[in-house]
Structure 1
Amino acid sequence: MKKKLSVVARAALLATSVSLLSPLAAQAQNITTVNGKPVPQSRADVLLQQATRQGQQPRTPELEAQVRDEVVLREMFVQEAVKRGLSTTKEYRDQIELARQGILIRELFTDFQKKNPVTDADIQAEYDKFKAQAGGSEYRARHILVEKEDEAKDIIAKLKGGAKFEDLAKKLSKDPGSGANGGDLDWANPNSYVPEFSAALTKLKKGETTQEPVKSQFGYHVIKLEDTRESQPPSLEEVKPQIQQRLNQIKLTEFRDQIKAKSKTDYKFQTN
């Protein structure tokens, strides 16, 4: 009889312990209650993740306290808004739908990027293409831009008479970017200029000036070649973040286009 009572007593004690612990466990999952309604810790966790994503903000005890305060305040304000019937208005429902769509779209693209990451091989291949395009010679040139051919011819005559190129550029050039610097265009690949300018520039030898005005869409140029050198493209490590970002964007754009292409609608997009 004693053994039976002992077993029953232990079972009762265990049940009592579990029932006492259950509220404590539930309480640990909540920050507090507001007017009897629990405020779950998971809300604060989500806000903390957003605040500290990609190292934008360090996770500190002060930040955690601020987030908890924010979550509890939100619950207070939401309860008041519901009391006033604001959760039943059309404006509220429309905004909720837009918010729902925004969250789902963000999750869609995030999921795609996780499953289709840009690999090191992708980055290397893109860098190799960039390096090939940036290869070759770079030219350091000066130019003087004027509106009329006669003005350009007059400048060439003055240069032949001993005038300094830099002085004439500062005084006469219509190019606001280089004129103040004596016409200096710094180092650049000739392909970065308009074709007429590039063709004239690459025919010059170091120190030479064009003997005829060079016409382009901007006006008439007098060009001087200061020097040439082999191009020095940046290293892979220097441009890796930009390449990765660009390839990610390309993948996302292709993914969006695929979804658009397979979706059935008679709507005509006004912009692409």
Structure 2
Amino acid sequence: MTYRPLVVRVRYATLVATLVTAGLVAGVLPAAHAANRPATKHSTDKVAEAIGGALPANGVARVNNVVITQDQLDQAMRATNAPDTPALRTSIKNQLIARELFRQAAEKQHYESRPQVVAAIEQAKTAAMTAAYLRDQVKPVPVTDADVKSKYDAIVGTLGESEYKPSAIAVKDADTAQTVLTQLKKGTDFSQLAKQYSQGPGAAQGGALNWISFKTPIQPGNTQNWPQPLAEALVKLPQGGVSSAPVQVGDVYWILRVDEKRPTQIPQYDQIKDALRKQLEQVALEKATAQVVVDLMKNARIQQQ
């Protein structure tokens, strides 16, 4: 496939996304419980009565006077994205107990009034309030099946008979580009030179780029977001061919190589329609969000330096 849709995924924070002491808690709390385990079942009942009676129906633990509920445990379990096992549930429950112990100890010492805590609370409040506002105000235009099919057809219409697997070296000055070309002519490995000199995409991977196809002759706007001079240079190279001279785009000098060339492979519509829909939905979301910003700016006084 020559087209790779950009799918922006939005991820929300979860109850136990990161617990710094997870490993410590899982290992230490059971041992602490064992060291302080009541001698008999009767003594356990007396302790429960002393701190507020038996656990409520939905409770899995009580830390002093605070009940940890089954819903909290279930939510924390889902956040792990791991198989639900008794051992993991015990570990997660211990982590929740430890977190509540930390919270109570911090509250007892009035950490809530510390400047960094107040600032963090305000930031969290602002983020939650903003997210709720945007959910209510941003109304993206629904993406229809016809929209998705039209996008698919438009992409296919930009593809040529052949597709290319290129590598590229991008440098900031002509002298460095000439140095690279000279070393290539001496037989130095392209990938090695890309890692050493390139400041362009894929440099850490030896300059390797994704498969790409262009309808020829190259037309403005039908270059799969490639600069037109690069697209024109690429389609002229045979498989294994390397640019004989740098291709200048703005202030960057590019050296291209065609690692592979093959007839264009177009996936069936059903194979990529879901990915295309997500891309279109993201575009619609961004457009609707931008409109909300524009509307708010109309009645706002904004000063900038």
TM-score, length basis structure 2: 0.49
Which of 74, 80, 92 lines up with 1:45 in the alignment? 74
Which of 40, 55, 60 lines up with 1:31 in the alignment? 60
Q: Among the aligned pairs, what percent are the same residue?
A: 22
Question: Which letter does structure 1 place at the counterpart of 2:301?
Answer: D
Query: For residues 187 and 249 of structure 1, what CA distance do their matches in structure 2 show?
Result: 23
Check the 8 A contact 1:173/1:179 in 2, yes or no: no
Structure 2's unaligned 5+ residue stretches are 1-52, 195-208
Question: Which letter does structure 2 place at the counterpart of 1:32?
Answer: A
Deviation at 1:35, TM superposition (A): 1.5
Shift in alpha-carbon separation, 1:95–1:64, aligned structure 2, 3 A: same
Q: How many residues align?
A: 209
Check the 8 A contact 1:123/1:240 in 2, yes or no: yes
The residue aligned with 1:84 is 109
Check the 8 A contact 1:30/1:40 in 2, yes or no: yes
Q: Which has the higher contact order (CA 8 A, sep 6+)?
A: 2
Which of 114, 138, 147 lines up with 2:162 in the alignment? 138
User: The residue matched to 2:84 in structure 1 has which SS?
Assistant: coil
User: The residue matched to 1:28 in structure 2 has which SS?
Assistant: coil
Structure 1's unaligned 5+ residue stretches are 1-22, 152-167
Deviation at 1:66, TM superposition (A): 2.4
Question: Which letter does structure 1 place at the counterpart of 2:268?
Answer: S
The residue aligned with 1:266 is 301
Report the more deviating stretch, 191-200 or 123-132: 191-200
Check the 8 A contact 2:184/2:190 in 1, yes or no: no
Deviation at 1:31, TM superposition (A): 1.8
Query: For residues 133 and 151 of structure 2, what CA distance do their matches in structure 1 show?
Result: 26
Alpha-carbon RMSD = 5.0
1:75 and 2:110 matched? no
Check the 8 A contact 1:109/1:252 in 2, yes or no: no
1:171 and 2:185 matched? yes
Query: For residues 179 and 46 of structure 1, what CA distance do their matches in structure 2 show?
Result: 50
Query: For residues 220 and 246 of structure 1, what CA distance do their matches in structure 2 show?
Result: 29
1:254 and 2:287 matched? yes
Query: For residues 108 and 94 of structure 1, what CA distance do their matches in structure 2 show?
Result: 21
Going by fraction, where is helix more abundant, 1 or 2? 1
Query: For residues 101 and 86 of structure 1, what CA distance do their matches in structure 2 show?
Result: 20
Check the 8 A contact 1:113/1:248 in 2, yes or no: no
Query: For residues 99 and 139 of structure 1, what CA distance do their matches in structure 2 show?
Result: 48
User: The residue matched to 2:117 in structure 1 has which SS?
Assistant: helix
Report the more deviating stretch, 72-81 or 256-265: 256-265
User: The residue matched to 1:265 in structure 2 has which SS?
Assistant: coil
Check the 8 A contact 2:140/2:288 in 1, yes or no: no
Deviation at 1:245, TM superposition (A): 3.6
Deviation at 1:178, TM superposition (A): 11
1:126 and 2:151 matched? yes
